[in-house]
Structure 1
Amino acid sequence: MLDLALIGGTVVTPEGPALLDVGVADGRIAMLSAPGTLPEATETLDCTGKLVLPGGVDPHVHTNAPYGMPNVLGRDIIGKAALYGGMTTFIDFVWPGIKSPLATVQDMVQQWEGTSYTNYGFHVVLSDQSDDAAIAEIGEIVEQGFPSFKIFTTDITPTDMPGFRTSGGTLWEIMAATAKAGGIVDIHAEDDELVMHQYRKHFEAGKTDIVYMPDVHTTISEDLAFHHVLRMASHIPGSAVYLHHVTAKLGVDALRWFRAKGVAAYGETLAVLSMATADRYAEPDGHKYHIYPSLKFDEDVEAIWDGVADGTIHTSGTDGVCCLWEEKNRARTIDGTFGGVTGVEPKLALFYTEMVHRRGMGLKKLVELTAENAAKIFGLYPRKGAILVGSDADFAVLDPTARRVLDPAELHEGDYTPWNDRVVEAWPAHTVLGGRVVVRDGVMVDEGTHGQLLLRRLDPAVALGKAV
């Protein structure tokens, strides 16, 4: 007897959409059957007229942000909002600082145990503060199930984040150790010298309003940094690189070129980067859209979507930090604007609207960008990111008739949204996590912290550039 049956829906499997019923037992997908042919189930979820997708896998979420600010909300709020939005798995971040990365990972695992609404894993942040002893721990960290390491090639601003930058020699050591261990390096890639030069010049000229942000965090900076890290990777056998938040046409072009040369490089977009431009900064509350590096221009947005279409851009992250408007509104300057946005809850609906409704890319491409590819790149597939027999029973059931206007008062993630008044053409009706119906008809019916720690191991295809 099945524990749960999802009946009547259009199910998006790795082969594409089909009318199927899905049977769940012991938290996993037990059967995919023609409509009306499942055996009896303890519970039935009617998905007639709806789209049954794998639960969203977001590879870039900051619920464990190191900011220590009173107006930044934590994983309890973000996790519930995620489930309302059909997102069931996060990869968050561990920030060791000068501490042992391995010890910090173990501490974080203990802190999160039994407290997360979503499934979760961790990227481990390394920097110039990571000495030889810390780098020597990379192999053991990978072996314990945490094979991805985040680095920054810039401090981002002159004031908020000093010490996060990883310079060339340390980056080389981290990339080499990670490749040897079978891991992947995730990079926030900007040219630090150019970024800091632009800050100085803008401060001197009194050009500090956020409208100048793309003149500080430039497309050229992305071009230089992408070429630098990808060229370095090309000289390290087995090296795999994941570029967070690609913002610019030049960045997309660099990824495409190096992938064609055989470098194992993968690219990520964000909703704000792929659906908004720097023109938004001129609005009175335009800082609500800001996420570092910065919004760019029309040609960059179109290049990102060209990259999604041709397989240069593989995943969608949130890079979200759930701050309250009081925090987001503390400044609208190039060095003071808070660099994070809410956006976990509406993410799937936004990408459905942009990809399927507006651009005609199809449901299979939507699933690849919001779940499947991230699972493949980061060692979760086919447990996550797929509707296959044996996969975990995580589902987002999307109603393509549930057109709505986004309003922060109706969302569950902070008190503002960069998407206020944005129209989406669909909305999640139900969310299933590990075989449990946690959201039914838009109402959270199970508030248990059922999220599981996901220990990961990368497929060898990742280092060959062929994971997706």
Structure 2
Amino acid sequence: MSLIIKNGLINDNEKSYKADILIENGTIKQIGTNIDQKNYKIIDAVDKLILPGGIDVHTHMDLNLGKYRAADDFYTGTVAAAFGGTTTIVDHIGFGPEGCSLSYQINEYHKLAKEKAIIDYSFHGVMQHVDEHILHEMNEMVNEGITSFKIYMTYDNMLSDEEILKVLIQAKKVNAVIAVHAENDGAIQYLRNHYKSLNSSKPIYHALSRPDSTEAEAINRMIYLSEIAEFPHLYFVHVSTKKGLDEIITARKRGVKNIYCETCPQYLTLTEDYYNKENYEGLKYIMAPPLRKSEDIEALWEGVANDDVDVIATDHCPFFLEQKLNAKDDFTIAPGGVSGVEERIEIVLTEAIKRGISINKIIDKLSTEPAKIFNLYPRKGVIQVGSDADIIILSKKNEVIKQENRHSRADYTPYEEFEINYTVETTILRGNIIIQDNKLNTKMGDGQFMKRN
């Protein structure tokens, strides 16, 4: 589609300015004033905000946990993303069969996403065991456009410190990014069993069994392992605590290189008090890491303002309320995760600007920096000539988030009754208007796999 966006305020990660945008063949061809209209379709964006499409580098679409499967597949999840102004995701894939290759699960996810995604997408590989074949495969996967891999320090497929070190050393050789879920598994397992032995089954014990020190210790350990491996690119997902962020800040001050910090909207807005809601409502908010205290929220926002936090992603992994309620008598069996891919941009903009943080800095966390870290930039994450025409148009308008105005397949949103001051009106993907006037204007499978270099 040939398209001109006129009269809006363009906002990128560095500045805000008024200009028109000319789009041809899916890319931005020209940015300027009074661009010749010719026979192009015109979008009049007067009094609107124009931003680069959001990039969410932490989603779990169609995650299969065996007993439970996430509510959103790659169709419903990317529809929700598009309505919220996100035009690209990088999905953290689930574990495959025991002993499988790295490519096995990537191939399975290609099948899950190809005919369903309506926005562009890529995958992080997942490391669930380590041997010489897996390490060699890392290089092969990087050459095929999978330039990042996830490791876990807890859960059934966690890696040992020795395995982690091997992965980090290989990541340094092949220039891959290692994303890590950092929690101390031994301490968590002890505390979970301890509370269960006391018949302490309420949701609040989910938070109490994963205290802030379990995150901070694991982050600290990973940083020193990365130092031994000579500083490969190390990316901490969903950092939720002041203690955890302080470990990253301290490491950077003493010269540690190539470490990146991600947090999520739930850790910037919701506290562990939600676990005390009556009628088992607290089960809705079980996720790992858990919701934290108000002082953690304030520390993370300070980290956003100071650029100690690099990325705001979502960890979008919703389950149905019925699935959560199976854990009424045992908090340890609740499937962990909530929705957020639709809410992220509107909530973060609203809260950040209330706190005096510039829209440009927030765009950096929502679009530009994730694109840079995960090898999508400059094709994605920026409004500039030659980049993909992934653009969103927002109005400064007050609305209230409710389940009935959500587009995820999940049957509740953790942000019910949350007031937002900015709403996404139009979402453009590679020059195609896919959301406008609260209507979906694209079809299943129109998203493209992004081979990352």
Q: What TM-score comes out, normalization by structure 1 length? A: 0.92
1:102 matched to 2:99? The reply is: no
Which amino acid counterpart does residue 89 of structure 1 have in structure 2?
Answer: T
1:317 matched to 2:316? The reply is: no
Q: How does 1:448-459 map to 2 (within 5 A)?
A: 448-457=444-453
How far apart in 2 are the matches of 1:201 and 1:419?
A: 31
Aligned partner of 2:57 in structure 1 is: 59
Q: Percentage identity across aligned positions?
A: 27
1:327 matched to 2:328? The reply is: no
Aligned partner of 1:135 in structure 2 is: 135
**Residues 202-252 of structure 1 deviation map (CA, whole Å, 9 limit, x = unaligned):** 112222211122221111111110110001101112411100000110111
How far apart are 1:15 and its partner, in Å?
Answer: 2.7
How far apart are 1:49 and its partner, in Å?
Answer: 1.1
How far apart are 1:103 and its partner, in Å?
Answer: 3.5
How far apart in 2 are the matches of 1:250 and 1:3?
A: 50
Aligned partner of 1:126 in structure 2 is: 127
How far apart in 2 are the matches of 1:298 and 1:175?
A: 34
How far apart in 1 are the matches of 2:233 and 2:447?
A: 28
**Equivalent in 436, 443, 447 of residue 447 of structure 1:** 443
How far apart in 2 are the matches of 1:360 and 1:150?
A: 34
How far apart are 1:331 and its partner, in Å?
Answer: 2.0
Relative distance call for 1:70 and 1:340 in structure 2 (3 A) is closer
How far apart in 2 are the matches of 1:362 and 1:306?
A: 13
How far apart are 1:288 and its partner, in Å?
Answer: 1.9
Aligned partner of 2:184 in structure 1 is: 191
How far apart in 1 are the matches of 2:325 and 2:367?
A: 32
Q: How does 1:161-180 map to 2 (within 5 A)?
A: 162=156, 164-180=157-173
How far apart in 2 are the matches of 1:215 and 1:378?
A: 33
Question: Contact 2:204–2:276 at 8 Å: present in 1 too?
Answer: yes
How far apart in 2 are the matches of 1:353 and 1:453?
A: 31
1:237 matched to 2:238? The reply is: no
How far apart in 2 are the matches of 1:412 and 1:298?
A: 29
**Equivalent in 41, 45, 48 of residue 47 of structure 1:** 45
Aligned partner of 1:212 in structure 2 is: 205
Aligned partner of 2:405 in structure 1 is: 410
Aligned partner of 1:307 in structure 2 is: 303
1:153 matched to 2:149? The reply is: no
Question: Contact 1:71–1:326 at 8 Å: present in 2 too?
Answer: no
How far apart in 1 are the matches of 2:272 and 2:396?
A: 30
Aligned partner of 1:228 in structure 2 is: 221
Question: Contact 1:4–1:41 at 8 Å: present in 2 too?
Answer: no
Question: Contact 2:126–2:151 at 8 Å: present in 1 too?
Answer: yes
How far apart are 1:267 and its partner, in Å?
Answer: 0.6
How far apart are 1:24 and its partner, in Å?
Answer: 0.5
How far apart in 2 are the matches of 1:241 and 1:211?
A: 31
Q: How does 1:328-367 map to 2 (within 5 A)?
A: 328-332=324-328, 333-356=330-353, 358-367=354-363
1:283 matched to 2:266? The reply is: no
**Residues 156-186 of structure 1 deviation map (CA, whole Å, 9 limit, x = unaligned):** xxxxxx2x21111111111111111000110
Which amino acid counterpart does residue 22 of structure 1 have in structure 2?
Answer: I
Aligned partner of 1:464 in structure 2 is: none
Aligned partner of 1:80 in structure 2 is: 79
How far apart are 1:42 and its partner, in Å?
Answer: 2.3
Partner of 1:75, secondary structure, is coil
Aligned partner of 1:6 in structure 2 is: 5
How far apart in 2 are the matches of 1:405 and 1:72?
A: 23
How far apart in 1 are the matches of 2:115 and 2:334?
A: 34
Aligned residue pairs, count: 445
Relative distance call for 1:233 and 1:38 in structure 2 (3 A) is farther
Question: Contact 1:71–1:327 at 8 Å: present in 2 too?
Answer: no
How far apart are 1:48 and its partner, in Å?
Answer: 1.3
Which amino acid counterpart does residue 257 of structure 1 have in structure 2?
Answer: T
How far apart in 2 are the matches of 1:167 and 1:371?
A: 33
How far apart are 1:405 and its partner, in Å?
Answer: 1.0
How far apart in 2 are the matches of 1:448 and 1:24?
A: 23
How far apart in 2 are the matches of 1:453 and 1:445?
A: 20
**Structure 1 spans left out of the alignment, 5+ residues:** 156-161, 458-468
How far apart in 1 are the matches of 2:12 and 2:69?
A: 42
How far apart in 1 are the matches of 2:437 and 2:16?
A: 22
Q: Which deviates further from its counterpart, 336-345 or 373-382?
A: 336-345
How far apart are 1:115 and its partner, in Å?
Answer: 2.8
How far apart are 1:410 and its partner, in Å?
Answer: 1.4
How far apart in 1 are the matches of 2:70 and 2:145?
A: 32
How far apart are 1:400 and its partner, in Å?
Answer: 1.0
How far apart in 1 are the matches of 2:400 and 2:369?
A: 29
Partner of 2:40, secondary structure, is strand
How far apart are 1:322 and its partner, in Å?
Answer: 3.0
How far apart in 2 are the matches of 1:31 and 1:55?
A: 17
How far apart in 2 are the matches of 1:214 and 1:327?
A: 19
How far apart in 2 are the matches of 1:328 and 1:215?
A: 18
How far apart in 2 are the matches of 1:306 and 1:71?
A: 32
How far apart in 1 are the matches of 2:36 and 2:444?
A: 28
**Residues 294-317 of structure 1 deviation map (CA, whole Å, 9 limit, x = unaligned):** 111111111111111111111111
Partner of 1:60, secondary structure, is strand
Partner of 2:195, secondary structure, is helix
**Structure 2 spans left out of the alignment, 5+ residues:** none
How far apart in 1 are the matches of 2:351 and 2:218?
A: 29
Question: Contact 1:180–1:238 at 8 Å: present in 2 too?
Answer: no
Relative distance call for 1:451 and 1:170 in structure 2 (3 A) is same
Q: What TM-score comes out, normalization by structure 2 length? A: 0.95
How far apart in 2 are the matches of 1:72 and 1:302?
A: 31
Question: Contact 2:64–2:70 at 8 Å: present in 1 too?
Answer: no
Which amino acid counterpart does residue 256 of structure 2 have in structure 1?
Answer: G
How far apart are 1:439 and its partner, in Å?
Answer: 0.8
